[in-house]
Amino acid sequence: MPVSTLKMRVHKYIPDRLYGFVVDDRGQEVFFHLGTFDPDPGTGFSLPTACSVCPPEGCTWAEAPPPPILGELVEVEVDLGLQRGDGRAPRANRVRRMTQPTTLQGEVETFDPMRGYGFILGKDGVSYHLHKSEVLDGKMPFASQLVSFFAGVRKGRPRACHIKVCR
């Protein structure tokens, strides 16, 4: 079977393991490794690599474009004929970002360090779910702290992805 090019959404990404899954509208899941992810949407504009709040020195965002963001639309090249007999999802040959990720600043509304989650009120007025697995550099936030993040979606709800604690 020839390689198919599909429009899918990032469903799950595990930063520590450098892999994730994309899913289409029918629920078809495809596995991808970060090595197959092309972060350049190829539209002639540059990706955000630093926030406007912090100095770029030592900023994780200044080192590389953001990894996959939950809920973002991507173009996936996959050979669906190579289904694994063990029931695992087929592996993507290439995953390409289609649009520039949206960066936001916000203030941490709540964060429970014992449970590892809370909420960020973005400058756009939306409350984003915050999970400790999305916080960069191991620096956990506290209430009223300023953060920068990429707006994502998980299970139909706003999710803060790749969160950088600013101050």
Are 150 and 104 a contacting pair, CB within 8 Å?
A: yes
Q: Which two tokens stand for residue 47?
A: 């990706």
Pick the CATH number of 103-165 from 2.40.50.100, 2.40.50.140, 3.40.50.150, 1.20.5.510: 2.40.50.140
CA 106 to mean position of chain CA atoms? 17
Whether 47 has a pLDDT exceeding 50, the answer reads no
Q: Decide which of 28 and 54 is more confident.
A: 28
pTM score, whole prediction = 0.81
DSSP class of residue 137 equals: G
Q: Give CA separation, 153 vs 53, 58, 66, 82, 83, in Å.
A: 24, 28, 15, 29, 28
Going by pLDDT thresholds of 50, 70 and 90, the confidence category of residue 66 is confident
The CA-CA-CA angle for residues 11, 14, 15, to 5°, reads 130
Pick the CATH number of 4-97 from 3.30.750.24, 2.40.50.140, 2.60.40.10, 3.30.230.10: 2.40.50.140
Domain ranges of the chain: 4-97, 103-165
Going by pLDDT thresholds of 50, 70 and 90, the confidence category of residue 10 is very high
φ and ψ of 137, to 5 deg = 65, 15
pLDDT of residue 45: 43
Query: Among residues 153, 150, 160, 129, which one has the least CA distance to residue 70?
Result: 153
**Fold matches, 4-97 and 103-165:** yes
Whether 44 has a pLDDT exceeding 50, the answer reads no
Whether 59 has a pLDDT exceeding 80, the answer reads no
- For residues 141, 144, 148 and 153, what is the CA-based torsion angle, rounded to 10 degrees? 80
Whether 60 has a pLDDT exceeding 60, the answer reads no
Query: Among residues 98, 165, 99, which one has the least CA distance to residue 134?
Result: 165
